[in-house]
Amino acid sequence: MPKVVSRSAVSSSTDAKPTASAAAALRVYYCICGEFILVIEKSLAALPRRRTDGAYIIRCRENETGKAVIFKLNASTSVAPVLVERSGAYERQYGFSCPRCNLLVGYQYTPLPVKSGPYLYILKGALTHAQGQVPKDAFEGLEESNDTA
Ligand SMILES: [Zn+2]
């Protein structure tokens, strides 16, 4: 996995030659404010989604459903969890937020560090593939859609 050199810029290193497949697959996502948040080996659109809130599910470790997804998250973390009610039960969410504008971008169920649990969730509409653009899924659900997911 290539090194992320600074928080605001991801440089494609010229000294080390990454394997063609790894370089081609890496995707970078930004907060709406323009801050770099996530570099990941596959597109968010290719990830499974939660039924409850539409969040993207990133598998942090290998399990019976498949291999771990390689990614790096640049986010501020909250030590105290937020309790969210899900169909009568309470879910504990440790939030990740943008280090610049503090917008919540994702969460996990387990306390820090990042990736301590089996899955990490990225909120739909929180991140954009193109810096400075509104995420495509920001208005998702406001109109009739025929999602295949
Ligand atoms: Zn931000």
Tens digits of per-residue pLDDT, 139-149? 787 765 455 44
In this structure, is residue 139 part of a structural domain? no
Amino acid 137: pLDDT: 84
CA 111 to centroid of chain Cα atoms:
17
pTM: 0.75
Domains held by the chain: number: 1
Helix, strand or coil for residue 21?
A: helix
Q: Are 31 and 105 in contact (CB under 8 A)?
A: yes
Amino acid 24: pLDDT: 60
In this structure, is residue 120 part of a structural domain? yes
Amino acid 30: pLDDT: 96
Look up residue 108 and give its amino acid. Answer: Q
| 12-21, 70-79, 121-130: least confident range | 12-21
Q: Which residues surround ligand 1, an ion (CB under 5 A)?
A: 31, 33, 35, 98, 100-101, 103
- Which residues share a beta bridge with 63? 66
In this structure, is residue 3 part of a structural domain? no
In this structure, is residue 60 part of a structural domain? yes
| pLDDT tens digit sequence for 34-61 | 999 999 999 999 999 999 999 999 999 9
Q: Which residue segment(s) compose the domain that 63 sits in?
A: 48-124
Could you tell me where the DSSP H helices lie in the chain? 20-25
The Cβ of residue 132 has, within 10 Å, a number of other Cβ atoms equal to: 9
What's the gap in Å between 14 CA and the centre of ligand 1?
29
What's the gap in Å between 76 CA and the centre of ligand 1?
10
In this structure, is residue 14 part of a structural domain? no
The Cα 76–Cα 136 span in angstroms is 24
Amino acid 96: pLDDT: 97
pLDDT band at 131 (very low <50, low <70, confident <90, very high): confident
| pLDDT tens digit sequence for 67-125 | 999 999 999 998 899 999 988 899 999 999 999 999 999 999 999 999 999 999 999 99
DSSP class of residue 137 equals: T
Amino acid 19: pLDDT: 55
